Amino acid sequence: MMNKEQFADNHFIRNIIDEDLAGGKHSFVHTRFPPEPNGYLHIGHAKSICLNFGLAYIYDGQCNLRFDDTNPEKENEEYVRAIEEDVRWLGFQWAGQPHYASDYFDKLFEYAVGLIKDGKAYVDDLTAEEIREYRGTLTEPGKNSPYRERSIEENLDLFMRMKSGEFPDGSKTLRLKIDMASGNINLRDPVIYRIRRVHHHNTGDKWCIYPMYDYTHAISDAIEGITHSLCTLEFEAHRPLYDWVLDNIPAPSAVRPRQYEFSRLELLYSITSKRKLNQLVTEGHVSGWDDPRMPTISGMRRRGYTPEGLRLFAKRVGISKSENTVDMSVLEGAVREELEESAPRMIAVLNPLKVELVNYDAAVSQNRSAPYHPNHPEMGERELPLSKTIYIEADDFSEDPPKGWQRLVPGGEVRLRYSYVIKCEEVVKNAAGRVVALKCSIDHETLGKKPEGRKVKGVIHWLSAEHAVPATVRLYDRLFTEARPDAVRGEDGNYLPFTDFLNPDSMTETGAWVEPLANSLPPESRYQFERLGYFVTDRYDHTPDAPVFNRTVGLKDTWQNKE
Ligand code: ATP
Ligand code: MG
């Protein structure tokens, strides 16, 4: 269940909205989330989604989903569908139908014609290279293009012919006539249309000219009546252009949108760039965009993260203008905290050691049931049957224990979770001297009671060999061995490929024994394996006959001591 306390509060954007509402500037909050459909969404987008949809939720407003599809080369339908699914899975619903910047191509064209008629835009014949040269630098002003003073008639004629396909790709552009000497490079006659003969996933081959992002974004916001247009800080210097565009076209709606910027989320030991994530997929370093090691929303979903856990994370990282580089432990901490409450428990043995209970007697030795959650009796209980042979975790036994060891040793005692205290009577070894089994005796006086006259501190988990069912378990670890894999420089001072720092041990697959209930679980069932961590049945590979569990996160933070 969602509530208004689940979102970042006390941040500057909320203050701005509060003032806008109190001062009567707006009576309604309308935000948008504007992904480019050129890849799957990642953890950084989750922050932006929680902000935009969260504000709409808090202020009883609306949030649009708008595909910013002005770069047809890299965009496609698969990404559109994946993005919609991810937003919904995170718990949000956009207002009405999804919007597309490409829905506005006709209007954007009309506004461009209007700007030409007002003498505020011109067709330029400079090549991309020349435009760059003429642009100047941060310290030097740019130079006017020799084509800048074309007549309105000539500009209109050329722009129409650009549209109708008379000129080759890249040979002409439409530029705003602002100021080549502006201190803000974005205002030095920015290009707003270029000629590109590419098929568009939405408009097909209707267009061979495509509008540029800044121009498109401002007008799309205004058309949709967006009140607060929130983006990341790298767009701060684009805001004057955003405002210029809206100041120089007839207002598309009664709402005048404003742009506000916040800092981008970066996650250590991870990557938040669709382009680089795409590279991991296309070069086969991962199994796909939704590989459980990927910081994509679909990857984290498959890993077992919950929407609630991700929303809690987004709240914790907050919204500000200062650097937002976050340790993986913050993400895992939020996920773990939420699962602690929501995930039922079960028992699994990952590295089994066989234990024969020498005095097991079906007539005397009793079964116990175990609660699915220690704090949530409403989740119910299930029977945990005991039998002659059980599996325990091999590393819960030691012949040569370190100091403070509370688990099983030769001649020592330990409690089986939810069951009896047992004593190790004999260690069975193979010819190579390796421990292959234990023989233990049950103290039948210890079911639900403390043993007489002695203390048994250790409690270990176990499964009846006769009842346990096999499963495949995938253990995931960090994907990269470097905190900032895309910022490591080699001896020559250049960045090394971030793929040099992939962790070769980021996934291991192992067999395990689990409770029979695994055979009735649907995909994406989340459980805590007692003492081992949180696991989820794989979204794709799990079947009731052949259970597959992914480790979502361990029970304790393992990031701190790895540094
Ligand atoms: P990428 O570099 O991964 O392609 P992007 O910013 O180009 O990211 P878009 O699809 O254009 O991706 O982003 C949609 C929205 O998500 C934008 O408003 C953008 O500011 C926001 N966003 C993207 N990455 C992050 C991030 N790391 N932290 C916060 N917001 C982000
Ligand atoms: Mg982008």
pTM of the model: 0.95
Residue whose CA is at the smallest distance from ligand 1 atom 24 = 44
- Ligand 1: residues with CB < 6 A are 34-36, 44-45, 47-48, 231-232, 264-265, 272-274
| 293 flagged as catalytic | no
Domain 105-212: homologous superfamily in CATH: Glutamyl-tRNA Synthetase; Domain 3 (3.90.800.10)
Beta-sheet strand order (sheet of 526-529): 345-346, 526-529, 533-537, 548-553, 469-476, 507-514, 348-349
**Annotated catalytic, 264?**
yes
Residue pLDDT tens, the chain, 563 long: 789 999 998 899 999 999 999 999 999 999 999 999 999 999 999 999 999 999 999 999 999 999 999 999 998 999 999 999 999 999 999 999 999 999 999 999 999 999 999 999 999 999 999 999 999 999 999 999 999 999 999 999 999 999 999 999 999 999 999 999 999 999 999 999 999 999 999 999 999 999 999 999 999 999 999 999 999 999 999 999 999 999 999 999 999 999 999 999 999 999 999 999 999 999 999 999 999 999 999 999 999 999 999 999 999 999 999 999 999 999 999 999 999 999 999 999 999 999 999 999 999 999 999 999 999 999 999 999 999 999 999 999 999 999 999 999 999 999 999 999 999 999 999 999 999 999 999 999 999 999 999 999 999 999 999 999 999 999 999 999 999 999 999 999 999 999 999 999 999 999 999 999 999 999 999 999 999 999 999 999 999 999 999 999 999 877 665 44
* CA of 86, nearest ligand number: 1
438 C-alpha to center of ligand 2: Å?
59
Q: What Å distances lie between residue 376 and 2, 123, 345, 407, 529, CA to CA? A: 20, 69, 11, 28, 16
**Nearest-angstrom CA–CA distance, 459 and 454:** 15
CATH class of 4-101+214-333: alpha beta
CA distance 524 to 302: 7
Both structure tokens of 92:
């949000």
- The residue whose CA has the least distance to atom 16 of ligand 1 is 45
- Could you state, in order of their start, the residue ranges of all structural domains in the chain? 4-101+214-333, 105-212, 347-464, 472-561
Query: Which residues are CB-neighbours of 544 under 8 A, at least 6 positions away?
Result: 518, 519, 520, 521
Query: Which one is catalytic: 36, 356, 425, 482?
Result: 36
Domains 105-212 and 347-464 share a fold: no
> 281 CA distance to ligand 2 centroid (A)?
18
CATH architecture of 347-464: Beta Barrel (2.40)
Q: Does residue 36 carry a catalytic annotation? A: yes
Q: Is domain 472-561 in CATH 2.40.240.10, yes or no?
A: yes
